[in-house]
Amino acid sequence: MRIHLSSVFVDDQDKALRFYTDLLGFVKKHDVPMGQDRWLTVVSPEEPDGTELLLEPSGHPAVQSYKTALVQDGIPAASFAVDDVQAEFNRLRELGVRFAQEPLAMGTVTTAVLDDTCGNLIQIVHSK
């Protein structure tokens, strides 16, 4: 068994697609119209057939309070592995990305937490 698909709820699919592709570096995998929304997924360019991230619309009534509670408590909605948290932090900060947590080393793990501009905190992580 392996993870095939995961999702983050986003306030605006177009804005999310730009953020996740133009800034984070993912590539669009699927973009299928489904009424007023889309089945919109991105993948790592390093693993184009790997796990897909669904940029899922936040339309369900429970989603906004869920997302707000996570952000208020500083809990990331997703975690992405990077080779070097400090280097990625520097690159993204230069592009204007806002961070809720700067790089923090905790034993063999270093993390940072960014704001995806679509209502979520996202963690980047590197393990030694």
pLDDT at 7: 97
Query: The whole model's pTM is what?
Result: 0.94
pLDDT at 98: 98
Strands 99-106 and 109-115: antiparallel
- Which tens digit of pLDDT belongs to each residue from 59-74? 999 999 999 999 999 9
pLDDT at 32: 98
pLDDT at 73: 97
Q: Could you write out the DSSP letters of every residue in the chain?
A: ----EEEEEES-HHHHHHIIIIIT--EEEEEEEETTEEEEEEE-TT-TTS-EEEEEE--STTHHHHHHHHHHTT--SEEEE-S-HHHHHHHHHHTT--EEEEEEEETTEEEEEEE-SSS-EEEEEEE-
Low-confidence ranges of the chain (pLDDT < 50): none
Domains in the chain, ordered, with CATH? 5-127 (3.10.180.10)
pLDDT at 125: 98
